[in-house]
Amino acid sequence: MTSIDMSIRGLQAAYASGELTPEGLLQKIRLAAESHAQRNIFIHLLTDDELAPYLAALAGKDPDEHPLWGIPFAIKDNIDLAGIPTTAACPQFAYTPEHSAQVVARLIDAGAIPLGKTNLDQFATGLNGTRSPYGPCKNSFDPAYISGGSSAGSSVAVALALASFSLGTDTAGSGRVPACFNNLVGLKPSIGLLSASGMLPACRSLDCMTVFAYNCDDADTVLSVAEGFDANDGYSRPNTYANSKRHYGLRQGPLKVGVIPESQLQFFGSDSYQKAYRETLKALQEDGFSFVEIDYAPFDEAARLLYEGPWVAERYLATLPLIEEDPQAVFPVVRDIIAPGGKPPATALFKAEYRLHELKQAALAQLKGLDCLLTPTAGRHFSIAEMLEEPVLRNSQLGYYTNFMNLLDMAAVAVPTAMTETGMPFGITLAGPALQDRALLSIGNRIQQALPLPMGATGLAQPALSTTPVGNTDSIDLLVCGAHLDGLPLNWQLRERGATLKQVTRTAPVYRMYALAGGPPHRPGLILDEEHGAAIEVEIWSVPAAEFGSFVARIPAPLGIGKVRLDDGSAVCGFICEPHAIGDAEEITAFGGWKHWMAARL
């Protein structure tokens, strides 16, 4: 299997050329899966009879209109696939759903082929992949090491080319830690962006489905198919235009990124991970990333609420009635975590909620003005033996950089960045406020191209990745040249909308400036004149995209917003003037800018 490019683009090319057929690929996957049986990847691998309907359905689907035509994927076994038992890695809990989860159904409608249900930490309780009666799921690079969990089998299936992508779930890091340990991209979308209908939750108010893929291009393709508002899911939320597929690509320009201070980093004795992290930051600095230290304390305190606070009650609810009627059926470590969840009083929940909101304000306030937060995905990669020695302590250590994410309602993408000197994968996580998924994926795409690694454990190079340029969708750059300049009478209209001064610069030498009649306040008019123009001093302000429309609506005639060229050859939105308005206006081009003209009048 390692000789087949299992990326979505790779399989599409192989199908188009006739080199492969879906039937032939599935036969190869089945043989490869059998050879990896000792890694405990699958709980249920679909039989030929169970796969037959999905293959037959491809005949009626045009590959050009179905973006996942013939693409095989794996499903974590707490997500429903119609007619196949859902076990959550607990045989006594198993049930057979009549309908697939909404996300699974959307993927199948787009032509994807479900291969099977994958092993997990029982009831999605764990970050390591050893808490399953089906055996510990072993790492794709070294079977002596953990795969990461709870979405263990889903990550290893992709890393070993048994699937092109897979679905996991994430409460505390289960869609990110396994990605790190298996050299994959792990997309943890904003809560509610993917429907949770048909997903057995660990903590219903916090959970989300996740995507494991070889690269950010594939993760975006899967997200584009899978996303969609679901009225049957109380936590579903519609996407925004700024977070739509149109805004995925290769992030351009300088990036300002938050990082954790050295004093707050934890690598739990792993010199190799510490070294890989520092080398990653150094390489990204050379690619245009600048780093700003944030205080990690509120993130860390929020993270500890997940298991030390009353949210464990949600895990208790998710396992009813089994946890009460037959607790011995639950994996011992998992039972010890879940069983106390029936005890916290409502007062404990509200007390924790109050503190969580305080922490959320403190944490997210630090991200304003930053493109994202960057952390190690995990501080150390444990062997299975080490994990079994200290299952609770080391699982907690695995969540040091991940447990806060859903409590603070953030989106995240785990991105592989390095192989350690011991030959094991290392990666970082990019995080931001909810509904920043495409922005994070676009930065992740840039990182993958700056720090290229093979696809999973296959040794194969990544396909060519997207080079479509994209920028920051949170704000819009606006050129101002008159009364809105810093310190002048209308500047408050920008500042009250949260705009910030980004740059003082000059236009291209193709504009003429006039002092328009009327006022106060006095206003200039900027007119394009390719033959007799000059460079004019201007300011660029970064305006929150949500506030831009209200600002533009207040601009009186004869002024408006158009594209204004700068002296570096770029163009930005900026103030322009209708030519008819300069008939009785004073030309002030020679002063080189509005403030210079005002100073000369004093």
- Tens of pLDDT, residue by residue over 407-458, are 999 999 999 999 999 999 999 999 999 999 999 999 999 999 999 999 999 9
The verdict on residue 3 lying in a domain is: no
Residue 152 maps to which CATH number? 3.90.1300.10
Range of 578's domain?
Answer: 475-601
- Tell me the average pLDDT across 274-283: 98
Whether the predicted pLDDT of 473 surpasses 70? yes
Task: Give whole-number Cα distances, 324 to 48, 125, 303, 327, 411, in Å.
Answer: 38, 17, 28, 6, 34
pLDDT of res. 168? 98
Task: Please write the tens of the pLDDT for every residue from 336-373.
Answer: 888 887 777 788 888 989 999 999 999 999 999 899 99
Pair of tokens at residue 18: 């006739």
pLDDT (0 to 100) of residue 423: 96
The more confident residue out of 42 and 333 is 42
- Count other Cβ atoms within 10 Å, centred on residue 107: 24
Q: Helix crossing, 48-58 with 22-35: angle to 10°?
A: 150
**398 & 482 share domain:** no
Q: How many domains are contained in the chain?
A: 2
Please provide residue 431's backbone torsions phi and psi, each rounded to the nearest 5 degrees: -135, 150
Query: How sure is the predictor about 329, in pLDDT bands with cuts at 50, 70 and 90?
Result: confident
Q: What pLDDT does residue 402 have?
A: 98
Band the pLDDT of 548: cuts 50, 70, 90. Answer: very high
pLDDT for the residue 519? 80
Q: Do 416 and 545 sit in the same domain of this protein?
A: no
Query: Do both 452 and 488 map to the same domain?
Result: no
Q: What is the mean pLDDT of residues 318-346?
A: 84
pLDDT of 277 strictly over 90: yes
Same structural domain for residues 351 and 444? yes
What confidence tier does 326 reach under pLDDT thresholds 50, 70, 90? confident
Assigned token pair, 11: 């399989």
Spell 80-101 as b/e; 16+ CB within 10 A means b.
Answer: bbbebbbbbbbeebeeebeebb
The reply to whether 557 falls in a domain is yes
Global pTM value: 0.92
As annotated, the active-site residues are 76, 150, 174
SS (H, E, C) 460-501: CCCCCCCCCEECCCCEEEEEECCCCCCCCCCCHHHHCCCCEE
Position 200 confidence tier, pLDDT thresholds 50, 70, 90: very high
- Measure the CA–CA gap between 219 and 148, rounded to whole angstroms: 19
Residues 428 and 442 in one domain: yes
Please tell me whether residues 196 and 257 are part of one structural domain.
yes
Residues 241 and 387 in one domain: yes
Same domain, 446 and 487: no
* Residues 46-76 pLDDT 10s: 999 999 999 999 999 999 999 999 999 999 9
pLDDT (mean) for 510-526: 93
Q: Please state which of the ranges 10-24, 450-464, 478-492, 515-529 shows the lowest mean pLDDT.
A: 515-529
H/E segment holding residue 103: helix 102-109
100 has a pLDDT exceeding 70? yes
Give the mean pLDDT of 221-236.
Answer: 97
> Are residues 483 and 448 part of one domain?
no
CA-nearest of 427, 446, 501, 428 to 254 is 446
Tell me the average pLDDT across 465-479.
Answer: 93
Assigned domain for 1 exists: no
- Model confidence band, residue 2 (pLDDT cutoffs 50, 70, 90): low
Whether pLDDT at 214 is above 90? yes
Mean pLDDT of the chain: 95
Across 88-110, average pLDDT? 97
Q: Are residues 130 and 161 in the same domain?
A: yes
Distance CA 160, CA 154 (A): 10
Residue finishing a domain among 423, 438, 470: 470
- Predicted confidence (pLDDT) at residue 602 exceeds the cutoff of 80: no
| Geometric angle at alpha carbon 13, from 10 and 17, rounded to 5° | 140
Domain boundary among 447, 470, 493: 470
On whether the CB atoms of residues 452 and 419 are closer than 8 A, the answer is: no
What is the distance between the alpha carbons of residues 78 and 87, in angstroms, rounded to a whole number?
A: 7
What tokens were used for 32?
């490869």
- The answer to whether position 2 is within a domain reads no
| Domain final residue pick, 455, 470, 485 | 470
| 444, 509: one domain | no
The answer to whether 414 and 180 have CB atoms below 8 angstroms apart is yes
Q: Would 229 be classed as within a structural domain?
A: yes
347 belongs to a structural domain: yes
Whether the pLDDT of residue 525 is over 80: the answer is yes
User: Is the domain of 106 the same as that of 127?
Assistant: yes
The region of weakest confidence among 83-92, 268-277, 336-345, 542-551 is 336-345
Task: Specify if 410 maps to a domain.
Answer: yes
Question: Is residue 534 in a domain?
Answer: yes
* Per-residue confidence (pLDDT) for residue 327, from 0 to 100: 86
- Residues 264-289, mean pLDDT to the nearest whole number: 98
CATH of the domain at 569: 3.10.490.10
What phi, psi does 257 have (nearest 5°)? -125, 135
Average of pLDDT values for 489-508? 96
Specify the range with the lowest mean pLDDT, choosing from 139-143, 214-218, 313-317: 313-317
User: What confidence category does residue 1 fall into, taking pLDDT thresholds of 50, 70 and 90?
Assistant: low
pLDDT above 90: residue 40: yes
